[in-house]
Structure 1
Amino acid sequence: MTTIELNPPPQEDDKEAAIIAGARKAFLAKGFDAASMDTVALMAGVSKRTVYNRFRSKEELFIAAIMDTCRRLLPVDIEAIEASLPPEEFIRQMARRFLRAILEPEAIALRRIATFEAGRTAHLGRAYLEHGPRWLVKTCAPILKRLAERGALRVDDAEGATWRLGALITEPLYTEVLLGDPPADIEAAVDAQIESGLSAFMRFYRA
Structure 2
Amino acid sequence: MSEARAQSEDELDEKTQAIVAAARKTFLSLGFDAASMDQIALTAGVSKRTVYNRFSSKEELFGAAIMETCKNLLPVNVDDIEASLPPEEVVRKLATQFLQGILEPEALSLRRIAAFEAERKPEIGKAYLEHGSYWMAKQCAPILARLAARGAYRIEDAEQAIWQLGALLTEPLHTQALMGDAPDDLSAAIDAQVNQAVTTFKKIYGA
TM-based fold match above 0.5: yes
State the Cα deviation string for residues 52-93 of structure 1 (Å, max 9, x = none).
Answer: 221121111101101111122223332232121110111101
Moved over 4 A (4+): none
2:13 is the alignment partner of 1:26 = no
| RMSD across aligned positions (CA) | 1.3
TM (norm. structure 2) is 0.92
Q: Does 1:41 align with 2:46?
A: no
Residue in 2 that maps onto 1:5: none
Post-superposition Cα deviations, 1:93-125, rounded to whole Å, max 9, x if no partner, equal: 100000000000110001000111111111210
Segments of structure 1 that go 5 or more residues without pairing to the other structure are 1-8
Taking the aligned partners of 1:24 and 1:12, their CA distance within structure 2 comes to 15
How far off its partner does 1:202 sit?
0.8
1:6 corresponds in structure 2 to none
Cα deviation for residue 181 of structure 1 reads 0.8
Q: Distance in 2 between matches of 1:88 and 1:44?
A: 42
Distance in 2 (CA, whole Å) between partners of 1:90 and 1:175 is 25
Secondary structure, aligned partner of 1:163 = helix
TM-score when scaled to structure 1? 0.92
Residue by residue over 1:175-197, the C-alpha shift from the partner in whole angstroms, topping out at 9 and shown as x without a partner, is: 10011111111111111111111
**2:60–2:127 Cα contact (<8 Å) kept:** no
2:190 paired residue number: 190
Distance (Å, rounded) in 2 between the aligned partners of 1:170 and 1:93: 15
Task: Quote the residue 1:203 is aligned against.
Answer: 203
Q: Distance in 1 between matches of 2:33 and 2:70?
A: 22
For structure 2, the residue ranges without an aligned partner over 5 or more in a row are 1-8
> Could you tell me which residue of structure 2 aligns to residue 76 of structure 1?
76
Report if aligned partners of 2:59, 2:123 keep a CA contact under 8 Å in 1: no
Aligned residues: 199
* Equivalence for 1:179: 179
- 2:95 alignment counterpart: 95
How does 1:49-198 map onto structure 2 within 5 Å? Answer: 49-198=49-198
Of the structure 1 ranges 180-189 and 43-52, higher mean CA displacement relative to structure 2 is found in 43-52
Counterpart amino acid of 1:15? K
